[in-house]
Chain A
Amino acid sequence: MRRSHLALLVVGPLAFASGCVKVAPYERGMLAHPTMTAEEISMGLDGHVRAVSEGAAGGLGGGGGGCGCN
């Protein structure tokens, strides 16, 4: 991976951080809704089908183990 890409990966989030709005604790009620979780929300075979039918892997949360399914 090029150094420029790595730098963007590190600097980008920091740039986001500096631009965040200050959200007070009592303003975060909406964020508690289950649909707002930052985690992967798919169920069933959705993730597995994507893993075996697409040549790409990873990105958010990692790829996990294999199964030799393709």
Chain B
Amino acid sequence: MTLRLLTRARLLAAALLLALALAPRVAFAVGEDAAIREAVQQIMTEDYPGSLGPAKKKLQDQLGTCLKKGCSPAIKGEVYVALGMVASQLGQAEEAKQNFKNALGANPDAKLPASGVTPAIRSQFDEVSGAKAGAAGAGGDDTGDAPPESGGGVAATIKLIQEALKADQEGRLEECIEKDKAALKIEEMPRTRLHLASCESRSTKLVDALKDAQKALEVGIQKRDAGVMKVARTRVKELLDRIPHVTFVPPPGVQDLSVKFDDRPVPNDALTKKFSVDPGKHRVVAEGSVNGFPATFDEEYDVKEKEFLTVRITLKPPANDYITPGQIKCMLAAKSQEDVQKCLPQNRKNIVVRLAADLSGYSDTNAVAVYTPGLNASVVSPTAGWNVGGNILLDAVSAASPDIVSTASPPFEEFRYSGGLTGGYKPGLYGAQASGSISSSVDYVSYTGGIRLIADVNDKLITPTLGYSYSLDRIGRGPKNFQHDFNPLKGRLDTHEFEAGVTFVMSPTTVLLVGGTAQFERGDQSQPYRYIPMFDPVTVTPFVPNGATIDLVNRTRLPVRPLEQLPTERDRYAVGGRFNKRMNATSTLRLEQRFYVDTWGLKATSTDMRYMVDLSRHLRVWPHARIHAQSGVNFYKLAYSASLDPNGGIVLPLYRTGDRELAPLITGTGGGGLRIALGEPEGEIKYGITLVGDVMYTRYLKSLYVTTRTAVYGSVGFDMEF
């Protein structure tokens, strides 16, 4: 009995000791299993698949703990499965398969998890486990990453993913991005997209990385992939924190503002919003008009991560020939015109001298040719407000016009000399300009003098002018043979002219001049060489055709040859406007219009246009067009009639003329010009060459001998200013 009791007690004690010996180990293994399992799960949700390197290291550490301290086969299997998945993602297929083999060796029931399984992982696991292709298992069909049932698509996707991973490992981030994008084109896989976001993030393409991480999160939510969701959320949060932002402060009052950010247009209504941008260098270009100036803004910024950049757009007009950026800045702060004037360089010249020479030529189908060399000089003091100037020219005239031939006069040549002086003084808002000129040829001398008053009012936005001039013309027949020597009424013309005008600054780019003149001519200005053919009023006059030839006229005219006789009084009125508009900062449109009437019955309209374009700082070109139409004077006739009175005398028309410029006509002119600035426009001495040319076609609606005239004329000029 006692022996039996003793044996039983020994057995109980041994069992107790064994239990005691085993209990801690079992308790320890259970605790370790839980910790390792938790660690593996954490690694596979946080580091997989975005940070495969760290994931592998951590899993290997867990495996080491498991082997050293002991863990259950199931847990060991889980660790090996996780290592196999990481190795597969790293493109280490053989290592992956070995890990899967180890997993199955530790736990024959080991299987792939429900999520995070790529086709390559499944393929490698199945190869090791001998599972049939397409079998559904615990690993499941991860729809988030399941490839289409196309062998080629799967293979291509796997290959691309492997290449992307390899590129990532080797630091070729651009290639990583390219391969991942190509894989995503075949199949949308959130883990691949997360990997793409990772590569983009490390290559500072934060905006793209954020978009891809958000897309991966969206897909993860759709597929209820907790692992993806967790990683994607973390990635999105991190990127949101890193991404820099830009906003714009547009300049006020600029209606035509256009802004570009790295050559991409930014809508005006979105300028004040916050834009996400990648860190790095960026360029902002803006254009618009500031009070009529075309202005620009061009700046480069180096944006850092997390930075919030505010771009204040300040449009500045570019420097040009006439205004520098410094002057513009000064003028922007100016409160009055005087302040603006002070913005000009302090060392500006007190005296400006301008010299010019030109040679002009004219030729027409009436065999008139004129060559005119001329000189012009002026001295101006911008600071003191005075100016003086002078000009001389010579007209060398050769003419064999139909009028001369028709009257059997030989063609003639003559020279006309002309010169003038001008001077003015305008120290402030008010000033005066005086001028005088003389024109002299062998049978015609003209003296002219005048004065003009000028004022600047309304802050120089309005400039009215008033002027008066007097001319005395003496008309003769040859040297010192003035007609008034034998007839006080003939050969002397007194002209009084009054002019008034106002210039308006309509806008920063528009000027309008409106004005008028009133001329009062007294004296007999009939030409002493112009004989007027007379015709029988009944048998010839009504039948004389327009443009009747010299022969026809000579055959049908009466034998009387009276001289031209014009009225001795003529009042002439004209009103006109000149409109100048600066367009696009490189061209100017100049339009002129004039209406004219006089007491001789002549009415006329003239329209002129120039469009001057600055092709560069040195070259300006312009087309020119003009049209003029007029009625004839009320005493002008195509064919004048003379008759015999009962006493045998000849009754002539009181007024008679052969001057075609008093006839009804229409003239069209077309041409153009160019100016070349030699040297620098801002240089100390400025040079320029100007060429102009025009063709003028006149249609006489009522005229003997000729009904049209075509003229060509032009000039070449050289000027310098210092």
Contact = CB atoms under 8 A, between A and B. Distances in A.
B522 interface: no
B202 to A, nearest CB: 51
A6 B185 CA distance: 82
A40 B692 CA distance: 15
A38 B493 contact: no
B505 A44 contact: no
Contacts of A12: 514
A45 B370 contact: yes
Interface in A9-56: 9, 12-13, 16-17, 20-33, 35-38, 41-46, 48-50, 52-56
Interface stretch (B2-10, B247-255, B327-335): B327-335
A18 to B, nearest CB: 11
A31 B509 CA distance: 6
Q: How large is the interface on A (under 10, 10 to 19, 20 to 34, 35 or more residues)?
A: 35 or more
A27 B714 CA distance: 37
B575 interface: yes
A22 B578 CA distance: 20
B233 interface: no
In this complex, the member of A20, A26, A57 whose beta carbon has the largest number of chain B beta carbons within 10 angstroms is A26
B574 A59 contact: yes
A33 B588 contact: yes
A53 B513 CA distance: 24
Given A17-B458, A44-B360, A23 B337 contact: no
Which of A22, A23, A53, A56 has the most chain B CB atoms closer than 10 A to its own CB? A56
Contact of B508 (A9, A23, A56, A70): A23
Contacts of A50: 626, 628
B459 interface: yes
A19 to B, nearest CB: 9
Contacts of A31: 505, 508-509, 511, 582
Contacts of B590: 35, 41
B475 A68 contact: yes
A67 B439 contact: yes
B443 A45 contact: no
A31 B585 CA distance: 11
Given A27-B292, A38-B580, A56 B594 contact: yes
A69 to B, nearest CB: 8
A67 B322 contact: no
Contacts of A67: 395, 416, 418, 439, 441, 444, 446
B383 interface: no
A28 B508 contact: yes
Contacts of A24: 291
A63 B507 CA distance: 30
Interface stretch (B121-129, B208-216, B496-504): B496-504
Contacts of A23: 461, 505, 507-508
Interface stretch (B65-73, B76-84, B537-545, B604-612): B604-612
Nearest to B503: A38
B350 interface: no
B205 interface: no
Nearest to B582: A30
Given A29-B323, A33-B588, A67-B418, A58 B572 contact: yes
Contact of B340 (A25, A46, A52): A25
B293 interface: yes
Contacts of B493: 66
A21 B462 CA distance: 11
Given A32-B323, A36-B580, A70-B661, 9 more contacts: A1-B573, A20-B504, A45-B370, A53-B711, A57-B572, A58-B572, A59-B517, A62-B450, A66-B495
Interface stretch (B32-40, B46-54, B466-474): B466-474
A22 to B, nearest CB: 8
A51 to B, nearest CB: 10
Interface in B294-341: 317, 322-323, 328, 331-337, 339-340
B22 to A, nearest CB: 97
B630 interface: yes
A43 B291 contact: no
B413 to A, nearest CB: 14
A53 B504 contact: no
Nearest to B516: A9
Given A44-B360, A44-B715, A58 B334 contact: no
Contacts of A13: 464, 502, 504, 514
B621 to A, nearest CB: 11
A55 B507 CA distance: 35
22 contacts: A26-B332, A26-B334, A27-B291, A27-B292, A28-B508, A29-B323, A32-B323, A33-B582, A35-B590, A36-B511, A38-B513, A45-B370, A54-B667, A56-B630, A57-B519, A57-B574, A58-B497, A63-B572, A66-B471, A66-B525, A67-B446, A68-B527
A68 B498 CA distance: 21
B582 A66 contact: no
B507 A46 contact: no
A7 interface: no
A43 B106 CA distance: 106
Name which of B446, B467, B493 has the most chain A CB atoms within 10 A of its CB. Answer: B446
A47 to B, nearest CB: 11
Contact of B606 (A25, A54, A68): A54
Contacts of B374: 44
Contacts of B450: 62
A35 B606 CA distance: 21
A65 B437 contact: yes
A66 B328 contact: no
B262 interface: no
Nearest to A1: B573
Contacts of B502: 13, 16-17
A30 B513 contact: no
B162 to A, nearest CB: 66
Per CB-CB distance, the 3 closest pairs between chain A and chain B, nearest first, are A44-B715, A58-B517, A68-B444
A55 B661 contact: yes
A53 B710 CA distance: 11
B713 interface: yes
B322 A32 contact: yes
